[in-house]
Amino acid sequence: MFRSIKKQTAFILLVLVTLLMTMSTALATTYVGSAKSDKFHYTDCRAAQRIKSSNLVYFYSREEALNAGYVPCGICHP
Ligand SMILES: [Zn+2]
């Protein structure tokens, strides 16, 4: 009985840790680009908000976007 409660607690903890990791990955996304263009933006740029979600490309750093061949947007100057 006691053993199974421990197992359940471990499982809940594992789920929580996974959730936290997923959330921090989402928060770490600072830049977005479109698969249809060569510009990258800050996530809150009005041009970025017009990109279809199916075309969104996420970058975790400016370098990552530049290395992928993207150029900074002229509106938000990332
Ligand atoms: Zn922009």
Q: How far does the centroid of ligand 1 lie from the alpha carbon of residue 1, in Å?
A: 57
Closest by Cα among 50, 47, 53, 77 to 65: 77
Burial of 38 (0-12, 13-18, 19+ CB in 10 A): exposed
pTM (predicted TM-score): 0.65
Residue at 41 is within a domain: yes
Residue at 24 is within a domain: yes
Domain that holds residue 49: 2-72
Q: How far does the centroid of ligand 1 lie from the alpha carbon of residue 40, in Å?
A: 7
Residue at 78 is within a domain: no
Q: How many domains does the chain have?
A: 1
Residue at 56 is within a domain: yes
Q: How far does the centroid of ligand 1 lie from the alpha carbon of residue 67, in Å?
A: 18
Residue at 77 is within a domain: no
Helices (H), the chain: 2-28, 62-67
Q: pLDDT tens string for the chain (78 positions)?
A: 566 778 889 999 999 999 988 777 666 678 999 999 999 999 999 999 999 999 999 999 999 999 999 999 999 999
pLDDT at 55: 97
Residue at 20 is within a domain: yes
